[in-house]
Amino acid sequence: MITKFMQRERRFIHNEKIAFLLLPTVLIPLIFELVIHSMQPEWFTTYQDQILIANIIYIIIARFAMLDVAIYIFSRTKSSVRFALLQIVLLYLEVTIITIIYYAAVFDIFDVFSLFHLSAQFSPQNFASIHEHSFVTSMYISTVTFTTLGSGDWIPQTLTAMIAVISEVILGVVQGGVFVAIVVYAHQNSIVKK
């Protein structure tokens, strides 16, 4: 069944040369969200849990589309195995970075310090510095969550923050398995073409 799915002709993107350029478009909805957040802060605050859940659903669907692009690129590549593996690694890196940035931006839009509680002890100067750089803090939390390192210093304070963390951890774990599956599939495909 998986092989049949990977070999299907209907794809989201048909040209592998532009796939790498199209993947960052996944981040575009965040621009609209920032505009809504700045223009309608009361509305945004009222519906923040629903908006956060919508963000989680969106990134899961978008990642499915990104991985579909990866499958397409490597099932149709006519290049050498080395070049195909390089493409796989670069695409894997791009999908990882996009996912981490997406979650970090969402955490930052929803105020990372209202979503998460810092349980570690810092000097007042260090804590002030962390507070001033909320996007860097959001990137750190997102990276640690996605890679499943889980420092334990940042604890989700809301149910929706917990759901966001759960979804990011699952995406991080699944991505490793998908990466291995794509590498194996690309390798098998190159052997069959010879």
7 in a structural domain: no
Q: Which two tokens stand for residue 15?
A: 């040209």
- Identify the burial level of 97 via C-beta atoms within 10 angstroms of its C-beta, where 0-12 means exposed, 13-18 middle and 19 or more buried: middle
Domain of residue 31 covers: 16-193
Domain count within the chain: 1
* Domain presence at residue 164: yes
Q: What's the pTM value of the predicted model, to 2 decimals?
A: 0.79
> Is 56 within the bounds of a domain?
yes
The predicted structure's pLDDT at residue 121: 77
Euclidean distance between CA atoms 50 and 105, whole angstroms: 16
Count of positions (residues) in the chain: 194
Residue 52 · residue 164 · CB < 8 Å: yes
Token representation of residue 86? 């390089």
Which tens digits make up the pLDDT trace of 14-53?
Answer: 555 666 677 778 888 888 888 888 899 899 889 988 999 9
Q: To the nearest whole percent, how much of the chain has pLDDT over 90? A: 26
pLDDT of residue 177: 79
How far apart, in whole angstroms, are the C-alpha atoms of residue 48 and residue 146? Answer: 22
1 lies in some domain: no
114 domain-assigned: yes
Q: Is 38 a domain residue? A: yes
- Per-residue pLDDT tens over the stretch 56-112: 999 888 887 777 766 666 666 666 666 667 777 777 888 889 999 999 999 999 999
Residue 86 lies in a domain: yes
In a domain, 28, yes or no: yes
Does an H or E element contain 149, and which? Answer: none
